[in-house]
């Protein structure tokens, strides 16, 4: 590669002269219309950021950016000393036009303190959950049997509609954290939690029946029904409850570890049911992209039958501080991304005009952007810069087909993503060694980008990294800049 | 079981003491907030009920209960001395939020008097119909052939989109009754009926063409087209017409009986087409649940290819007076239930808050229920008692995942159900021998219901019946009460 | 047939007497309610038509006919001397109730002048395009390779979501015209075009990223990024650009012709991907209907894997001047029909009442039609005549299940259609030799149409043509009328 570079650079020097006329068409005045050159906002680093949780921040007012969901948008479904369940409102509540395609998906996450028990419940929805942290047991109860599985960080658990299940955090010190994507059955984007037992501020679903019917159904006295199940009580026991070490032992003693389950289960009849309940671990697969700067694990419904009918993929990104997950496109999947650790900077190209965008001020890099009033949706050729700082506990949504880049400027980043409509989706990179645009033939590149033959060859092939690359800093902070060899020659060449 | 009971009861006596503290948390005052104890409405029996057709009635004002559809909600698509077709409005017209998931389904039923003929027609919809009563012939006409099938009570007929078909009631005395679930093709929840011939107040679809085009198409004079097909006339012939015994003989002579069809048809090419037209009878399959108190037949799309692409299940419930079809959950299916005979009492647990619920007064058992204003949809833990008396000719909708119990307090009940999204749905019982909660292990039951070890074992296993159980009456009518042995001991035990 | 005719006609003479009583129920006065007999509008021929492009016209005010989309409804997404892209607004913008079922489909067409290049782009949508005229090359670029295919009139090209592709019109004289049906991924009925490079009034999607990220991603200096990709410039180069003969040669040199591709490709791994990109030609299949008056080619997703997941059929109709494509019904498909040449007259039967219909005046054949105010959607038995003159460059939508006839009264007609939901759809003819109604048995026809046995046999079997038939003119222009033998005898018989 190095030798080819030297050769081409020489040629580029010659081309640069030939092209100086072509490049002359850049009109400085009008350029400001899209990218004003005042860079006062680009001093990145610790500051009064209002988006994330780390205290570090870029100047940004993302309140009108509908793809970003800050912590304040979550609602508590339940909260106590033993844990909490937080639910993001319907995406269409944020933007009914942008998110109609994912109207029937909800994002939630929950945390259970060490040595706690989440009471049995079901929802009128399918869901997929991913263990972010901790370890415990998930148990499913059907009319045939109870099945319990040990779960740990990276485990993906598919919970089918209306199946009664419960969780135990068996760990003595670490909270059990799960992120979930929920697909309601009855009412798009709306689901209910059904509890057989009463808890603090939650009634049992048996309260939906009259006492005589319950008495007849269970063949026990009405009074007992009321005392044990339906009667109101000022119990302090929430849906998440503390348990003793002995109870933990009992609760986890029949739990199967996912890997063993996979090996020993050969019953053909139970195969389907078993598989759907059987958790699997993202980290037991090789990462699909990996280098020194990051790695990316992904489970696709093509491979994992648990994800098939729900058509959701699950992914886990580790990105080193100072690196970027190269620009890419997901062809069919909309990704709901949750930042588990650190802060991400997402940059996304959006030709859409959305409500409130007129007031939106993208000051991330000091680039104020004046969105024009667009009445004719299709005729605008403007591309909007959606730049968001998203920190631990926050969500960003990446629609299908939209170019996106993920950056970790502040610290190591851990982010997980649920890919909706994952089955037929593919990921295409727009930069890096496996860049789709480097497969354009020379003539097409020349015609498309208005460059000469040699520059056409180089334009999309100067990046030696694949998938993850170092974040070369802009010229505003020269002391940190470590330009690669090739770039310096470009500079030398007078570009 | 009896021996085990004796043993456990002794233990329960001990436990009851131990638990008297635990149970002491029941606060009488607050209990009224959910279930006031004035029982003046519980004198069940003959009364001025306004819901059903039998004259018997409970006090109930179900007008604000969106899951119940009384007779007055049906619209006549057609009505004459020879028969009628009644159509329920779109479910979303009742509640746009609760029923968005079944927006594209419509319920209708029709009745043809003895010795009548329903003229050929097609709809821009797929539908499944179930013969409730009577016998006759259904005929399909395609560009290749005509196929006629004898149909009788319990037969399920799949009619594909836009296929021209007609019905004959060949019986001399019994009306032919069908219930139908319709899945429109063009416009969610809206379909049209297309008739090649004119009838009273209905035009032929050939009226959509100009006379010269019709004349050219049929190669007959315009005048004849107008006289026979498109011309307006004050005919008294409705879409359902009386026929002579000779005509009935002609109409039914090539009709195949479903069972024979199944055996003799071996043409591989026609297999798919044949199968979809081929009716089958619910009662030729063994009931999936059955005992002395009731039985339940069900056809699932997994087994019947006719139901596969439309993904609808069909079920038939017979329930003996004084019995209940035990509390259960359908995991993915929403059931549209039609009462064919008698009156059902449906009790359903609903955590949802719906429009008009504030004014709803569930007086079924005298239990007024004050629904609180809930602004935050997810945070309410209250469970609503949806209790409805549904009589012959009326409809009740059971959303997926919602616990439901069906009771036949007045007389034997016959109800049929169409299960939307049936393919992957399973039914789980919440009471009875095959109760899902009895599969909770002891520790989970203890933690969940706040009971001791022995009571935990008993709580969901005291009912010896499966699926159907006797309706043990409440204490308001002690002369009718026949408590089972186990219950009396509970009472004796001082619970 | 002739002999049979003679025999039957004799019998018909006798029947006509017997039926004179039956036919007497035709009430002249009321008939006018639906079809007034003033025929002043039927002088067809050259006139001041306002719908089409040919100058010939029928009197018609179709502005309130929601199934017809005149040229003025298209919006320019792009237009220059080198070509244009025209997009029809969402169908639901025209009628939210009628077109909810096809809300997620968009129709567009594009034209590229000879020797032009459409720059690489992708859309957040799947689409199918049909080459209407001309020849060229379509190229797909993925992260693995570039594939180019020669395309010509009748070729169907499936472009998957988010795949970067570009077109070249390699022809020196003929414009390249394509019709497309687009199925958006994110937001029902709404999609965006993403361009890696900038063009006149269109930004590159790389403008969605900050300069430092782009510099790091491509490993080239920021300045170069701005000059070549993101910087604003007053370029006159649109998305369609002129190219030199040498560039055309380069662009097309690796293009595969569809037919060769099909034969030589045996790589099993690439099979799926290859197939979806591989264009096929409608005219390489035998027409499914053909006679001297017309022919009809159709590609169904059952046969072509390229169309399978998108579930769209593509059809091409050639109809001779003075002929009609006989009345028919598509069972599940809604057809979006685009007239490529000549003018079609579509006649469609619609029981629906739609907004604005009250003001609609169908004067096509001088038949004013007074649509009644219909509050109860289902109870109207009236059938509306939707008669539309649709000329080159215009669109007509045929909903599933709706009887439709296509006439070419003025000149030879070329029309193409995209059938939405094509997989399970079948086409049934209502007239002609393969007429579904001719398969009604005699007794059913008698009962349905109120005719005698012999007329029942004849009513739907007098047309000897299949699929395409001559347009026999109405009696208002007697000099042009050439009634077939059979019709004259009908007339003689005094009908």
- Interchain pair A378, C161: CB under 8 A: no
Low-confidence winner among B440-454, C177-191, C203-217 (lowest mean pLDDT): B440-454
Q: Most B CBs within 10 Å: which of A100, A162, A236, as the mutation test of the B interface?
A: A162
Contacts of C297 (CB under 8 A, 6+ apart): C154, C282, C283, C285, C287, C288, C315, C316
- Interchain pair A349, C194: CB under 8 A: yes
Joined tokens for residue B216:
């050219």
| Residue A356 burial (CB count, 10 A) | 13
Out of 3.30.1860.10, 2.60.120.10, 3.30.360.10, 3.30.1490.100, select the CATH number for domain B69-281: 2.60.120.10
Nearest C-alpha of chain C: how many angstroms from B444?
A: 43
- All residues of chain A having their beta carbon less than 8 Å from the beta carbon of residue C229 are 449
- All residues of chain C having their beta carbon less than 8 Å from the beta carbon of residue B93 are none
Residue of B45, B448, A441 lying closest to C120 (CA atoms): A441
| Residue C145 burial (CB count, 10 A) | 10
- Burial pattern C255-275, b for ≥16 Cβ within 10 A else e, equals bbebeebeeeeeeeeeeebeb
- The C-alpha atoms of residue A143 and residue A150 are separated, in whole angstroms, by 21
CATH of domain B52-64+288-492: 2.60.120.10
Closest residue of chain A to B428, computed from CA coordinates: A143
Q: What is the pLDDT of residues A219-243, one digit of tens each?
A: 999 888 888 888 766 567 899 999 9
Contacts of B437 (CB under 8 A, 6+ apart): A120, A141, A164, A196, B430, B445, B459, B460
Residue A259 has pLDDT above 70, yes or no: no
If you average pLDDT over each of A318-332, A449-463, B217-231, which comes out highest? A318-332
- The C-alpha atoms of residue A184 and residue A126 are separated, in whole angstroms, by 6
Residue C372 has pLDDT above 50, yes or no: no
Is A126 in contact with A180 (CB distance < 8 Å)? no
User: What is the architecture of the domain spanning C35-64+286-432+467-490?
Assistant: Sandwich (2.60)
Contacts of C428 (CB under 8 A, 6+ apart): B142, B143, B162, B164, C328, C329, C331, C436
Residue A268 has pLDDT above 90, yes or no: no
Give me chain C's average pLDDT, please: 79
3-class secondary-structure state, position B441: coil
- Nearest CB neighbour to C208, from listed A101, A403, A444: A403
- Residue C379 half-sphere exposure, CB side, CA atoms within 13 Å? 14
3-class secondary-structure state, position C300: coil
Helices (H), B270-428: 271-277
Is B146 in contact with B139 (CB distance < 8 Å)? yes
Nearest C-alpha of chain B: how many angstroms from A454?
A: 54
- Burial pattern B371-407, b for ≥16 Cβ within 10 A else e, equals beeeeebbebbbbbbbbbbbbbbbbbbbbbbbbbbbb
Domains A59-64+285-371+379-425 and A70-200+235-281 share a fold: yes
User: What is the architecture of the domain spanning A70-200+235-281?
Assistant: Sandwich (2.60)
- The C-alpha atoms of residue C204 and residue C197 are separated, in whole angstroms, by 5
What top-level class would CATH report for the domain C72-200+235-281?
mainly beta
Phi, psi (degrees; rounded to nearest 5) at B112: -115, 130
Residue C311 confidence (pLDDT)? 97
Residue of C401, C406, C402, C258 lying closest to C323 (CA atoms): C406
Is B243 in contact with B171 (CB distance < 8 Å)? no
Question: Across-strand partners of C427?
Answer: C330
The stretch A421-449 carries a mean pLDDT of 93
Phi, psi (degrees; rounded to nearest 5) at C273: -60, -45
Residue C91 has pLDDT above 80, yes or no: yes
Contacts of C35 (CB under 8 A, 6+ apart): B211, B226, B230, B231, B232, C367
Domain ranges of chain A: 59-64+285-371+379-425, 70-200+235-281
Joined tokens for residue A174:
């670490």
3-class secondary-structure state, position A23: helix
CA-to-CA separations, C387 to B204, B209, C97, C408, C467, in angstroms, rounded: 16, 8, 20, 13, 20
- The C-alpha atoms of residue A227 and residue B283 are separated, in whole angstroms, by 42
Query: C495: pLDDT confidence band, cut at 50, 70 and 90?
Result: very low
Joined tokens for residue B19:
């638990």
Give how far the C-alpha of residue B372 lies from the chain's centroid of Cα atoms, to the nearest Å: 30
- Interchain pair C212, A474: CB under 8 A: yes
Q: Which chains touch C (3 or more CB pairs under 8 A)?
A: A, B
Query: C46: pLDDT confidence band, cut at 50, 70 and 90?
Result: very low
Burial (0-12, 13-18, 19+ Cβ within 10 Å), B25: middle
Residue of C31, A185, C215, C358 lying closest to B231 (CA atoms): C31
Nearest C-alpha of chain B: how many angstroms from C411?
A: 17
Place of tokens 């909260």: A79
DSSP class of B30: H
Q: What is the ipTM of this complex?
A: 0.80
Q: Most C CBs within 10 Å: which of B86, B188, B198, B221, as the mutation test of the C interface?
A: B221
Residue C274 confidence (pLDDT)? 59
Nearest C-alpha of chain C: how many angstroms from A286?
A: 21
Joined tokens for residue C447:
């009962």
CA-to-CA separations, B427 to A264, B326, B336, B404, in angstroms, rounded: 28, 11, 15, 11
Residue of A154, A182, A4 lying closest to A86 (CA atoms): A182
- Interchain pair C449, B231: CB under 8 A: no
Joined tokens for residue B325:
């079809």
- Nearest CB neighbour to B434, from listed A124, A143, A232: A143
- Nearest CB neighbour to B431, from listed A120, A218, A251: A218
Phi, psi (degrees; rounded to nearest 5) at B120: -55, 145
Q: pLDDT tens digits for chain B (495 residues)?
A: 444 444 444 444 333 333 333 332 222 222 222 233 333 333 333 333 333 333 333 434 344 789 999 999 999 999 999 999 999 999 999 998 899 999 999 999 999 999 999 999 999 999 999 999 999 999 999 888 889 999 999 999 999 999 999 999 999 999 999 999 999 999 999 999 999 999 988 899 999 999 999 999 999 998 888 888 887 665 678 999 999 999 999 998 888 876 444 433 444 444 445 588 899 999 998 999 999 999 999 999 999 999 999 999 999 999 999 999 999 999 999 999 999 999 999 999 998 765 444 333 333 333 333 333 333 444 578 899 999 999 999 999 999 999 999 999 999 999 999 999 999 999 999 999 989 999 998 899 999 998 888 888 788 889 999 999 998 744 444 444 444 444 433 433 333
Q: What is the pLDDT of residues C127-174, one digit of tens each?
A: 999 999 999 999 999 888 889 999 999 999 999 999 999 999 999 999
Joined tokens for residue A59:
């100047």
- Interchain pair B119, C447: CB under 8 A: yes
What percent of chain C lies above the pLDDT cut of 90? 60
Residue of A97, A101, A180, A103 lying closest to A401 (CA atoms): A101
Residue A116 has pLDDT above 70, yes or no: yes
Residue C44 has pLDDT above 50, yes or no: no
CA-to-CA separations, C30 to B201, B210, B234, C22, C461, in angstroms, rounded: 12, 18, 8, 17, 29
User: What is the architecture of the domain spanning A59-64+285-371+379-425?
Assistant: Sandwich (2.60)
- Nearest CB neighbour to C188, from listed A101, A463, A470: A101
Residue C312 confidence (pLDDT)? 97
Residue A352 confidence (pLDDT)? 74
């Amino acid at each position: 590669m190095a030798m080819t570079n030297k050769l081409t650079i020489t040629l580029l020097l010659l081309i640069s002269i030939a092209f100086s006329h072509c490049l002359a068409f850049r009109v400085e005045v009008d350029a400001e219309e899209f990218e004003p050159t005042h860079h006062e906002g680009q001093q990145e680093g610790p500051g009064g950021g209002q988006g994330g949780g780390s205290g570090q921040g870029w100047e940004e007012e993302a309140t009108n950016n509908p793809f970003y969901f800050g912590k304040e948008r979550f609602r508590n479904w339940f909260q106590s000393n033993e844990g909490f369940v937080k639910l993001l409102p319907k995406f269409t509540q944020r933007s009914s036009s942008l998110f109609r395609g994912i109207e029937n998906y909800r994002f939630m996450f929950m945390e259970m303190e060490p040595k706690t028990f989440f009471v049995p419940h079901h929802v009128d929805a399918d869901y997929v959950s991913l263990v972010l942290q901790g370890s415990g047991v998930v148990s499913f109860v059907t009319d045939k049997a109870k099945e319990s599985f040990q779960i740990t960080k990276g485990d993906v658990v598919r919970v089918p509609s209306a199946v009664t299940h419960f969780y135990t955090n068996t760990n003595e010190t670490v909270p059990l954290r799960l992120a979930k994507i929920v697909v309601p059955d009855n009412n798009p984007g709306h689901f209910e939690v059904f509890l057989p037992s009463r808890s603090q501020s939650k009634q049992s679903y048996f309260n939906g029946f009259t006492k005589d019917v319950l008495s007849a159904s269970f063949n026990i006295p009405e009074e007992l029904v009321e005392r044990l199940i339906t009667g109101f009580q000022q119990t302090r026991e929430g849906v998440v409850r503390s348990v003793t070490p002995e109870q933990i032992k009992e609760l986890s003693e029949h739990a199967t570890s996912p890997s063993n389950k996979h090996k020993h289960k050969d019953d053909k009849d139970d195969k389907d049911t078993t598989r759907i309940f059987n958790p699997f671990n993202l980290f037991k697969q090789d990462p699909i992209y990996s280098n020194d700067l990051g790695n990316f694990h992904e489970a696709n419904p093509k491979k994992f039958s648990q994800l098939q009918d729900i058509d959701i993929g699950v992914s886990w990104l580790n990105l080193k501080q100072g690196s970027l997950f190269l620009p890419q496109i997901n062809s069919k999947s909309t990704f709901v991304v949750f930042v588990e650790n650190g802060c991400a900077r997402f940059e996304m190209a959006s030709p859409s005009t959305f409500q409130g965008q007129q007031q939106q001020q993208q000051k991330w890099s000091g680039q104020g952007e004046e969105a024009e009033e667009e009445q004719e949706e299709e005729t605008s050729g403007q591309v909007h810069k959606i730049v968001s700082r998203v920190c631990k506990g926050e969500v960003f949504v990446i629609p299908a087909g939209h170019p996106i880049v993920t950056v970790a400027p502040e610290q190591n980043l851990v982010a997980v993503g649920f890919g909706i409509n994952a089955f037929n989706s593919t990921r295409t990179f727009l930069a890096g060694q496996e860049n789709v645009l480097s497969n354009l033939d020379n003539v097409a590149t020349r015609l498309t980008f208005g460059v000469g033959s040699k520059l056409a060859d180089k334009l999309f092939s100067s990046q030696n990294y694949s998938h993850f690359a170092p974040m070369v800093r802009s010229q505003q902070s020269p002391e940190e800049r470590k330009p690669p060899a090739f770039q310096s020659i470009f500079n030398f060449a007078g570009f």
